[in-house]
Structure 1
């Protein structure tokens, strides 16, 4: 296992901050708002920002020299791009400065039982990423439990580093039940990222206890400020 096991009782502020991918994916965000979001991420020393592909270079410029990685999305939000387009998106993102890629699985092909296609689609992006982190978004809102398990297994077979619950743009986001199922469906080298609707300290700690080691969040400041306040109250 290449990552620490975290739990709500022993997690430190620094560890909690490094579970967060600060999400800057809303379609209406301006360049100024992206810059502000990146600056917030740097102040709170989170794991990464996750920006739209058009903002990768901007985020890289703001965050260079910081301890915050630049991530972006591939095939977002529906996963329906052809494999060639997903690969092109991945290559462009890396050229622009991204080091983490959150790609959306082809949801319809997974639901159709076309496992070879799904595995090869993921593998093509993993290969293009050349060792950089690839997180595979399943979009659990549209999947049965069996399909979630199968999607996790295909992502692992394809060499992905993470399986992820949601884009944040489907009818529902991360649930504790789904995170536990995903954690149980992959081996120890694959991590679980939860995203969608995680807006409070209590919610993120519950998700971490379920097995997530990364969390996509927009309420980053509120979550980490609440943790700091709780720490201060017991000292």
Structure 2
């Protein structure tokens, strides 16, 4: 198992969230992308305003590392037009993969038709440009029944509207890693949540994101059946160790 090819090395903090300057934050992103290139991880996941720089670095290194970004992050509650515009700019900047935050609060509030429309139209946009599309359902904000419902919602839209050859290009993804939780509860991927996603998203692939910080945890997720792991601890995982914190 080449675990590096499962890893989406991720850095999604703004300068304000990191408590550093904009210049310093850009340097952190450069470091993450450089490490992804050096370690040959599957992908470097950065915010939309960092995509063009990341792609330039990858091209300059003649690397096969992909560049991904997040859309409507971290809440997913903007309009379809907003999502499409942000995704369109990311595509123009060279993003290989688009991780959309699904409007999970809208879904919970009964706006199911709008959520379905967003999933359909944003998926159509990404696939039409040959991109990988992922839908973040934010499992920490959901109960088990809602995890099942949203995993199945994305699956049903894809199966009903796209060719079978494209199923493996649309993922259901667990988490942003930014959802606020208390009492030491996980805000990212957990084994029970991932099992529900795998069962109900099939035949779509699943990405476990947030909270995977050791080789053993990553291996467990892969053995369950996930095809990607989003983590800010990619090097520690690849080296067989563990990281103390982070996404």
For the aligned pair, the TM-score class normalised by the smaller chain equals: 0.7 to 0.9
Structure 2 match to 1:52 = 47
Separation in 1, partners of 2:29, 2:108:
35
Structure 2 match to 1:208 = 222
**RMSD (Å), alpha carbons:** 1.4
Separation in 1, partners of 2:221, 2:140:
17
Separation in 1, partners of 2:46, 2:219:
24
Structure 1 match to 2:87 = 90
Separation in 2, partners of 1:201, 1:119:
36
TM-score, reference length from structure 1 = 0.87
Separation in 2, partners of 1:194, 1:114:
26
Separation in 1, partners of 2:202, 2:154:
11
Separation in 1, partners of 2:96, 2:117:
21
TM-score, reference length from structure 2 = 0.83
- CA contact 1:167–1:196 (8 Å) conserved in 2: yes
Q: 1:8-87 counterparts in 2 under 5 A?
A: 12=1, 14=2, 16-28=3-15, 30-64=25-59, 65-87=62-84
Q: What is the deviation of 1:26? A: 1.4
Q: What is the deviation of 1:42? A: 0.8
Structure 1 match to 2:132 = 133
2:232 paired residue among 201, 211, 218: 218
Structure 2 match to 1:184 = 199
Structure 2 match to 1:115 = 112
Deviations 1:77-114 (A, max 9, x none): 00011110000011100000101000001011211233
Deviating above 6 A after TM superposition, structure 1's stretches of 4 or more consecutive aligned residues are none
Structure 2 match to 1:195 = 209
Q: What is the deviation of 1:24? A: 1.4
| Count of paired positions | 213
**Is there any run of 5+ residues in structure 1 with no aligned partner, and where?**
1-11, 228-235
Deviations 1:36-66 (A, max 9, x none): 1101001111111110010000000011221
Q: What is the deviation of 1:193? A: 0.4
Q: Which moved more, 1:152-161 or 1:135-144?
A: 152-161
- CA contact 2:77–2:106 (8 Å) conserved in 1: no
- CA contact 1:201–1:224 (8 Å) conserved in 2: yes
**Is there any run of 5+ residues in structure 2 with no aligned partner, and where?**
19-24, 159-168, 182-186, 242-247
Structure 2 match to 1:165 = 174
